[in-house]
Amino acid sequence: MKGFSIGEVEKITSVKAHTLRYWEEALPSLAPQKDIGGRRLYSNRDVQTFLRLKHLIQEKKYTIEGAREALIAEAAAAGSAAGENLCAQLNGIKSDLLDLYRLVRKANSEAEE
C-alpha cells in the first residue's frame, strides 16, 4: 500500500509526530491505514488535512476545536458547485506535488544504494 509514514508527514508538514497523533484523535476524519506492523500510512488527503490544520492553528491562531469546526464548514462549502471546482483543482495540485515528493524520495533512495 502506498502512503506516507508518520516521519515523512513530519518532514512535509514540519509538525512533530506526537502533535500529528494528537490531531488524529481530535479529527475523526484523520484515520490513517495501518500496515501489518501497525505503522501508520497516511494518504495524500491526510497530508493535505494536516497542512490545512497547521495553517489554521499556527497562522490563523485557531484552537484545535475551532480548526475542526472550520474544516467541517469548508467541507460543507466544498459541496457547492463553485467551491467544488476550486477545491478539486487545489486538491489535484496538492496531490500532484505529493506524488512528485514520492518520486524524489524514491530516486534519492535508489541513488544511495
Of 12, 5, 7, 42, which is closest to residue 27 (Cα–Cα)? 42
Q: What is the pLDDT of residues 51-62, one digit of tens each?
A: 999 999 999 999
Mean predicted confidence (pLDDT) in 58-69: 94
Dist. CA 58–CA 50, nearest whole Å: 12
Asked if pLDDT for residue 50 goes beyond 80, the answer is yes
As a whole-number percent, the residues of the chain with pLDDT over 90 amount to: 52
CATH topology of domain 6-112: Multidrug-efflux Transporter Regulator; Chain: A; Domain 2 (1.10.1660)
User: Going by C-beta distance under 8 Å and a sequence separation of 6 or more, which residues neighbour residue 102?
Assistant: 2
